[in-house]
Amino acid sequence: MIPVFEPVLGKKEIEYVNDCLNTNWISFGGKYNKKFEEEFAKYCGVKYGIATTNGTTALHLALLALKIGKGDEVIINDFTMASPAFAVEYVGAKPIFVDADRKTWNIDVNKIEIKITKKTKAIIVVHIYGHPCDMDPIMKIAKKHNLKVIEDCAEAHGAEYKGKRVGSFGDVSAFSFYANKIITTGEGGMIVTNDAKLAERARWLHSLAFDKERKHIHEEIGYNFRMSNITAAIGLGQLERIDETIEKKRWIAKTYNKYLKNIKGITTPVEEKYAKNVYWMYGIVIENEFGTPRDELKKKLFEAGIDTRYFFWPMHAEPCFKQHKYNPKDYPVSTELSKKGLYLPSGLNLTEEQIKTICKKIEEVQSKK
Ligand SMILES: *Cc1c(COP(=O)(O)O)cnc(C)c1O
């Protein structure tokens, strides 16, 4: 079976983890914690990094640091993985979803403003599948309405908008280092920000809000979102190879593009003029002209030993949010993408031969119709 993804771990990760074990520095507060936060923030072009237990807690921490809570509304892509919407629910605010753009699959910038109300406090923009959102108009809207911007960069480490890396545009940005992300620590996450006060507040909250002078006095409810030194050690090793990883991702996309080019009814990922796409997952949309429905194609590929995944389910249609009664008519594009989208194997060990085989199989499914 060609898997959808598998992580690749190198010698550095092993060396750094062994160093933690040999020196007894296994919990939070070790040298790899500090180094990983500093180096990752620097990589993003941002001053401060606070590592967390995962990407979901990073988003939660970002909202807590911004003091977003009960009665507030937060705008988010409708077409996304659920974590940013969950994080908004954790702090007692309400997620307000915006339809996707048919080309980039990111938030449709033209549909944001009609969703803004007096209660709107922030926008979470999710850079979907490695392609950055169109940040200039987003930042303009945020400024006009006095909204905070949180970038969810969980799928886009190293992606660029007009030559600047994602994570450096918002008031605060969140990353995930889950096993299938561009860099991984197994489970892990980080927020990055240029705002010293916000960074300090986030660091305090993420370690149980211990008081600096009187340790066991708590002015606010704290959280334990700390990353261990062992986890950070893996992250540092991964970060040292991130350029290579992104190069490989871009090569995978280029190679798929080459072999899928002549198949009618397959829409491949774009890279807008303003963007450097890191192609976290290589997604395709099975258009009606393809002739075979997406679900059938997935089944045929699976039978041929090729694993794939459906695109995200749109947030407005999630059973867990049904109490909010979102209007499905507002979300034609994300609904269509969720029914027609499929992502293909995107692992770092993928060879040209395998990509060729996958594309040939897709062609075969079509010609058999
Ligand atoms: C993976 C992911 C997350 C959450 O990351 P975890 O580390 O699994 O909690 C958040 N947002 C998006 C868009 C993701 O893809």
CB 151 within 8 A of CB 127: yes
Q: Could you give phi then psi for residue 222, rounded to 5 degrees?
A: -100, 175
The finding on whether 76 has its CB within 6 A of some atom of ligand 1 is: no
- DSSP per-residue letters across 20-44: HHHHT--STTSHHHHHHHHHHHHHH
| pLDDT above 80 for 361 | yes
- Top mutation candidate among 81, 90, 127, 175 for ligand 1, by most atoms within 8 Å of CB: 81
> First and final CA of the chain: distance in angstroms?
24
- The pLDDT of residue 269 is 98
| pLDDT above 70 for 235 | yes
Residue 235 CA, ligand 1 centroid: distance in Å:
16
- Render pLDDT for 11-38 as a digit per residue (tens, 0 to 9): 999 999 999 999 999 999 999 999 999 9
Distance CA 182, CA 155 (A): 7
Residue 9 CA, ligand 1 centroid: distance in Å:
20
Higher per-residue confidence, 214 vs 128? 128
Distance CA 307, CA 305 (A): 6
For the segment 286-292, the average pLDDT, to the nearest whole number, is 96
| pLDDT above 70 for 270 | yes
Q: Which of 124, 93, 86 is nearest to 107 (CA)?
A: 124
pLDDT confidence of 214, banded at 50, 70, 90? confident
For the segment 166-174, the average pLDDT, to the nearest whole number, is 98
Residue 258 CA, ligand 1 centroid: distance in Å:
29
Dihedral sign, Cα of residue 253, residue 254, residue 255, residue 261:
positive
- Render pLDDT for 236-248 as a digit per residue (tens, 0 to 9): 999 999 999 999 9
Residue 176 CA, ligand 1 centroid: distance in Å:
5
Higher per-residue confidence, 215 vs 258? 258
pLDDT confidence of 369, banded at 50, 70, 90? low
pLDDT confidence of 215, banded at 50, 70, 90? confident
Share of the chain above pLDDT 90, in %: 97
The finding on whether 238 has its CB within 6 A of some atom of ligand 1 is: no
Which residue is closest in CA terms to ligand 1's atom 1? 154
CB 202 within 8 A of CB 208: no
Question: Angle at which helices 229-239 and 11-23 pack, to 10 degrees?
Answer: 150
Share of the chain above pLDDT 70, in %: 100
Residue 175 CA, ligand 1 centroid: distance in Å:
7
